Chains A and B, each alone.
Chain A
């Protein structure tokens, strides 16, 4: 089976840096996605990691350690509009994509 764990909620301050962790246990591993979902809206793609290491895209970076079954999404220079749910999703054995339950991030002044 596949199991994905993320914190349920996080709170951070505007302008700060926040790290959202995701741990997974899967039978096989092909890649890991991060999606952003604002309240009442569709999820939108943020990143996809296949190899170990950090991938940076502007204010957002995503890290993967395959040996540890661990990923994180790093958000820098937080803005109020970053308040959203962040979904971790893993493609494991049998090409099955499994989503975590999401981390609700609240950015405060």
Chain B
């Protein structure tokens, strides 16, 4: 089975801190994604990457950046955490780069910014 692993299940950070969320997939998938999930808003795409060192903005990239130095690892960075970034963050990957492919999700990181 494909495994998408997120480094932390729960994180508590203070306003202004720099936060790193790590995601690793073990099946040589091309595409990787970062979503946030909020009640009543559904899943919203922050950033995605279709190749090493490549990144594309999603629907809500403001306040975030990403890094993909190796194919299996995709990091989400909050440069200066704010309370409105309190959310569930979900990493996902797909085998290839076409949009008809199913997403494999990690278990999520519940981030609280105080």
Q: Contact check: which of B41, B44, B98, B106 meets A42 at CB < 8 Å?
A: B106
A residues adjacent to B (C-beta < 8 A): 30-31, 33, 35, 40-45, 48, 50, 87, 89, 91, 95-97, 99-102
Interface residues on B, range: 10 to 19
Let me know if A43 and B105 touch, CB within 8 A. Answer: yes
B residues adjacent to A (C-beta < 8 A): 4, 40-45, 90, 98-100, 102-108
**A41 to B43 alpha-carbon distance, docked (Å):** 14
Let me know if A97 and B45 touch, CB within 8 A. Answer: yes
> In the complex, which residues of chain B have a beta carbon less than 8 angstroms from the beta carbon of A87?
42-43
> A interface, by DSSP: helix, strand, loop or mixed?
strand
**A45 to B4 alpha-carbon distance, docked (Å):** 14
> In the complex, which residues of chain B have a beta carbon less than 8 angstroms from the beta carbon of A91?
99-100
With both chains docked as a complex, state the minimum distance between the C-beta of B105 and any C-beta of chain A, in angstroms. Answer: 4
Mind listing 18 A-B residue pairs with CB under 8 Å? A30-B99, A30-B100, A31-B99, A33-B102, A35-B103, A42-B106, A43-B103, A45-B103, A45-B104, A48-B100, A50-B100, A87-B43, A96-B99, A97-B99, A99-B43, A101-B41, A101-B42, A102-B42
